[in-house]
Amino acid sequence: MPAMLTVTDLAAGYGPVRALDGVSFTAERGRVTAVLGANGAGKTTLLRTISGLHRAERGSVDLDGQRLDRVAAERMPALGLAHVPEGRGVITELTVEENLRLGALGRAGKVDGSDLERVYGLFPVLADRRAATAHVLSGGERQMLVVGRALMARPTTLLLDEPSLGLAPRIVAQIFELLRGLVESESLTVLLVEQNARSALSIAHRGVVLNLGRVVADDDADALAADDQLRHAYLGF
């Protein structure tokens, strides 16, 4: 079952620099929540703090009643949270299948072949290249690999970091189409961090707009996309 992710008054930074300054929002069960904003708005720090890679200075993160803000990053997969780093997060020295198998090792319980087959079913292009070193994959294929690898852990919640980063527009459209299908078929809660606001809002139910570490808007995706002033000021389209 998808989980509900609640972030309350979260603050984090790097030395004297405040990257997040009292961020609160809820990613609803089974829905896609987009986190939008310009470079430096705090989007990536938000994901890294939720998944335990970066320490929160204040505030809390809660996944279906379980406090996450003092949990080490390596325990998150067992709790159902999968942080999907951007496409560069494939381990290029390992094969496609080794990357996928690695994804299943972090979760509780046994791994079996059915998980691999399920991911290969979702991303047939990975099945064709299962024995290849991930190093040879294209940008789009890498993005599919990191998403597929996260699904191997059977997560309830996906944190997606800039799935469109560095991809050609045609590939971006393809990736978002895949993500849309995934959300419908897999019943996941998704927190999607994107600079490409237009693409993100096309699959998101809700949107949270960050600016300089603070939430400046939190509304239905349609309402955000319709707000001309907000679009021009923060979303760049």
Partner 1 sequence: MQQLLNTALGGLTLGMVYAAFALALVLIWRSTRVVNFAQAPMAMVTTFVALVIVDAGHSYWLAFAAALASGLVLGAVIERVVVRPVEGGPEINAVILTLGLFIVLHALAAVIFGNRYRSFPAPFGVRGIEVGGTTIALTGFGIFTILAVLVTMGLLLLLFQRTDIGLRMRASAFNPEVARLLGVRVGRMLTLGWALASVVGSLAGLLIAGGSLVHPGYMDSVVVYGFVAAVLGGLDSPFGAVVGGLLLGLALSFVSGYVGSQLVALAALVILMLVLVLRPGGLFAQTAARRV
Contacts with partner 1, residue ranges (CB under 8 A): 51, 53, 73-78, 82-83, 85, 88-94, 98, 101-103, 105-107, 149, 153
Cα–Cα distance, 28 to 190 (Å, whole number) = 9
DSSP letter (8 states) at residue 234: I
Supply the minimum distance, in Å, between the C-beta of residue 171 and partner 1: 20
Indicate the residue among 48 and 231 with the shorter CB distance to partner 1: 48
Q: In terms of C-beta density within 10 A (0-12 exposed, 13-18 middle, 19 or more buried), how is residue 205 classed?
A: middle
CA distance readout (Å), 58 to 7, 49, 230: 11, 11, 28
**What CA dihedral angle connects 161, 167, 168 and 172, to 10 degrees?**
-30
Indicate the residue among 99 and 199 with the shorter CB distance to partner 1: 99
Supply the minimum distance, in Å, between the C-beta of residue 52 and partner 1: 8
Indicate the residue among 4 and 111 with the shorter CB distance to partner 1: 111
Indicate the residue among 3 and 90 with the shorter CB distance to partner 1: 90
Indicate the residue among 31 and 107 with the shorter CB distance to partner 1: 107
Supply the minimum distance, in Å, between the C-beta of residue 98 and partner 1: 6
* Side-chain-facing half-sphere of 35: CA atoms under 13 Å: 32
Cα–Cα distance, 103 to 152 (Å, whole number) = 5
Supply the minimum distance, in Å, between the C-beta of residue 78 and partner 1: 6
Supply the minimum distance, in Å, between the C-beta of residue 94 and partner 1: 7
